Amino acid sequence: MTDTREKRTGDLGHQLALLALVAVLSSVGFLHMFESVSAGSVPQRYMMALGAAGVLSLVVWIILRQLKSYANQNIFFGVTMLTLLGCMEIIRIDYENEGLGRASSAGFNQLVWFLLSLVLMGGTLVAVKDYRIFRKFSYISMVIGLALLFSPMVPGLGVSINGSRIWINVLGHSVQPAEFAKIFMAFFFASYLFDHRDRLAVGGKKIGALHLPRLRDFGPIIVVWAACMGVLVLQKDLGTGLLFFAMFVCMLYVATGRVSWIIIGFIFFVAAAFFASQVFSHVGNRVEAWLHPFDNHVYLAVGGSQQLVTGIFGLAAGGLFGTGLGQGYPALTPLANSDFIYSSLGEELGLTGLFAVLAIYTVIICTGIVTAIKVKDGFGKLLASGLVFTMAFQIFTVVGGITLVIPLTGLTLPYMAAGGSSLVANWMVATLLLIISHQANRPDEDTSSDTFAMAALEVINEKKAQEEKQKMLRSHRASREVASQAVSTATQFITDAESDTESDAEPDSTEPPTDTREQEEYDE
């Protein structure tokens, strides 16, 4: 008990230090940014929004500290720092767009979405006592996830932007439901794979080194996955489809422990990528831009490499330490505040700043991996690993696409890119990881302590009391059955006696007749 108190005291000091670090870095960054873009004056609406964000962040941290005290709070501080840094850069790009005659309020909107994310995190931490409750709603989660994926296809509800129909219109705002669908599908995949992991691992035929599952075990989940992929292909949202595919393969591998799933997944990925590049023109353009970005014909073509090359030049202009916040020209790159925000940060923070950003992401991902390893519940292990791998894969595809490692996928950087759907959904992912982390890091009860002995004695006494109560109920029920049987027997006896009495009262058929003629016949 003393060791636990000392550890928690040390954790509190560590958490306060991280809280102070996040507060100081974000405050200095915003002040420096506003000094560069607005002559040092902070507009009132930004001041109020940032103040509310600071207060809400402190409140959520206190809730997290009180209700989920064993959670690894590096996740909370990491996503908070990334979100504030993203808001800082988006506001800075808004000022540049305003100077270019393209008025935008994406930065202020991002702060509002940040406030909403904090409120939802606090409410979820209070409402969800145990993450395992989501296992009870696996098929409901599947239905909700599929409904969210299908919703942009509903006439009058879905909205097409840049050729992709992946948004819905809610109260005048564009919402991307696929960002939330991935959470519900993660619930379903984790629950189904946990329930069928043994049959998926050992059942079915073996072809060479590959161990295939039985169709009756693998069929339901492959149907759901195929439906997800089909909808995303129809919506031309192949980046999100790739994300779902990666999450599915990762959770299959964790559930079964078979490397064959990774091999099968890689084969499917290569085949699907080749097919998409041949069938979908925008995918083919991205592959061509990746292979020949500096070719003049590709650069000037519609959907060519102009955006990609402009982002690369922005990264090069940043050098080692960057131009400084407000000193670069990130708005020259199309979609600089969303798809290419990593390039914008690289221009103004330099290679050093980008490494710092990647270091924060690494801490979050490593914490999630450790959580998945430590948690003893199989459902939690699958859920945590699926969510963490999905985040890591998304970061890799975004950074890899901007730096010419892989073709662009159209995905956005978690917690930093402009977009309310992505920000809120990724904050809910962080909330789930915190809840699972709390369960994973909770110390086991000391079986030798007096507290544990008293608790065990209370449980035993309660169980005995329940057994005595059950025994009394059974005895009372048996007594009632005996009494009922006795009453039934007595009732039957009385009924039989009354029947006998009525039989005795009937006239005898051999009684002498009263008629004279009949009397004579009778005498004879």
Residue span of the structural domain in which 184 resides: 132-279
pLDDT at 13: 83
pLDDT at 513: 46
How many domains does one find in the chain?
2
How many residues make up the chain in this entry? Answer: 524
Last residue of a domain, one of 246, 279, 312: 279
Indicate whether 291 belongs to any domain.
no
Indicate whether 391 belongs to any domain.
no
Q: Which of 273-287, 300-314, 501-515 has the lowest mean pLDDT?
A: 501-515
How many C-beta atoms surround the C-beta of residue 82 within 10 A? 20
Amino acid (one-letter) located at 40: G
What burial letters (b/e) apply to 194-219, b meaning 16+ CB within 10 Å?
A: bebbeebbebbeeeeeebebeeebbe
Last residue of a domain, one of 279, 301, 327: 279
How many C-beta atoms surround the C-beta of residue 298 within 10 A? 20
* For residue 225, pLDDT beyond 90: no
Phi, psi for residue 160 in degrees, rounded to 5: -95, 125
Task: Residue 353: name the closest of 106, 85, 103 by CA.
Answer: 85
Q: In terms of pLDDT, which residue wins out, 138 or 425?
A: 425
pLDDT at 101: 82
Indicate whether 86 belongs to any domain.
no
The DSSP secondary-structure symbol of 104 reads -
What the block records as the tokens of 516 is: 């004279």
Indicate whether 511 belongs to any domain.
yes
Indicate whether 46 belongs to any domain.
no
List the helix and strand counts (H, then E) for the chain.
17, 5
Amino acid (one-letter) located at 249: V
Phi, psi for residue 19 in degrees, rounded to 5: -60, -45
Task: Name every residue whose Cβ is closer than 8 Å to that of residue 431 and which is 6 or more positions away in sequence.
Answer: 120, 121, 124, 125
Model pLDDT for residues 360-390, shown as the tens digit of each residue = 999 999 999 999 999 988 899 999 999 999 9
Last residue of a domain, one of 261, 279, 297: 279
* For residue 511, pLDDT beyond 50: no
* For residue 80, pLDDT beyond 70: yes
Rounded to whole angstroms, the Cα distance separating 71 from 121 reads 14
The pLDDT-based confidence of 205 (bands split at 50, 70, 90) is: low
Indicate whether 285 belongs to any domain.
no
* For residue 445, pLDDT beyond 60: no
Indicate whether 467 belongs to any domain.
yes
Which H or E run includes 433?
A: helix 420-441
361 in helix, strand or coil? helix
Q: In terms of pLDDT, which residue wins out, 268 or 414?
A: 414
Cβ pair 351, 103 in contact under 8 A: no
Indicate whether 236 belongs to any domain.
yes
